[in-house]
Amino acid sequence: MGLRNKLLIVLIITLICNSCDERKETNESTSKNNEASTNSNVNKASDSSYADVLIKLRDNLKGALLKDTLTVIKLIYFSDSISPDSFILRIPPGLIAKTKSELIIKKHDSQEIYSESFDTYYFARYIFEPDSVPIEGGQDTYDNYMKSYIKSLTKIQFELYTKKAARSLFDDILVSREKLNKIMGWYGEVIDKELFDEVEKDTTLKVITLPCFSCDVGGTYFSYSKKKNKVIGILATD
């Protein structure tokens, strides 16, 4: 082999080695950059306030979903005392944080007398309130405790909590006349004065209470109007 060919081979090998070293340095640099980016994101999440973490969790509930339609039905004597009405709640499959639930009341002959659509998220919202919170240590202690608590919630917990809350929606929905008399005397804002007065005088008329699905607190008391043949709100509370 001539000297010229030997020099050519050495040159080719040198170029190949340099290329390998450059690729190795590039990969190491990319890996370090990715690691730094990940650490930065972790630090940002850790530095987020309790309010910021809560907003992000409420937006997706860690991907919690219902795979099938959830239907809850309860028969309640409401519009008349002879045949019960069907109180129906339907939650469609999909992300709990993004779907709409439907509440329907039907008479025994399947005639619809009330319907309302609202965010399914309503059934999950109280999971963010723990059974107990620290009473000492100030606001920072409280915020750190709450942040740790809500971050510990899992996708399965959101799903189970939502189903349990949905199945109990119609529990204690009827309002006793004793409680109603106290409420009607001093509490709330009258919505329909005509039906309100009718309910106040006619003790056979039944009243139900439903929460404000889009509010943090409050709700509405409803009764059945024979004149209008539908369920009407008579009193709103904060």
213 vs 39: CA distance, rounded Å: 39
pLDDT single digits (tens) 9-62: 444 444 444 444 444 444 444 444 443 443 344 344 456 899 999 999 999 999
Count the helix, strand and coil residues of the chain and give each as a percent rounded to the nearest 5.
50, 25, 30
| 142-to-30, 56, 128, 133, 168 alpha-carbon distances in Å | 40, 19, 14, 7, 30
What integer pLDDT is reported at residue 23 of this predicted model? Answer: 47
| 139-to-52, 98, 151, 155, 215 alpha-carbon distances in Å | 16, 32, 18, 28, 25
Q: What percent of the chain has pLDDT over 90?
A: 68
Are 195 and 234 within 8 A, CB to CB?
yes
For residue 67, the SS3 value is: coil
185 vs 73: CA distance, rounded Å: 32
180 vs 205: CA distance, rounded Å: 11
Q: Where are the alpha helices (DSSP H) in 70-192?
A: 138-152, 155-167, 177-186
Residues of the chain under the 70 pLDDT cut: 1-47, 186-187
What integer pLDDT is reported at residue 2 of this predicted model? Answer: 52
Place of tokens 């009473």: 135
Tokens of 194: 């005509």
Whole-prediction pTM value? 0.77
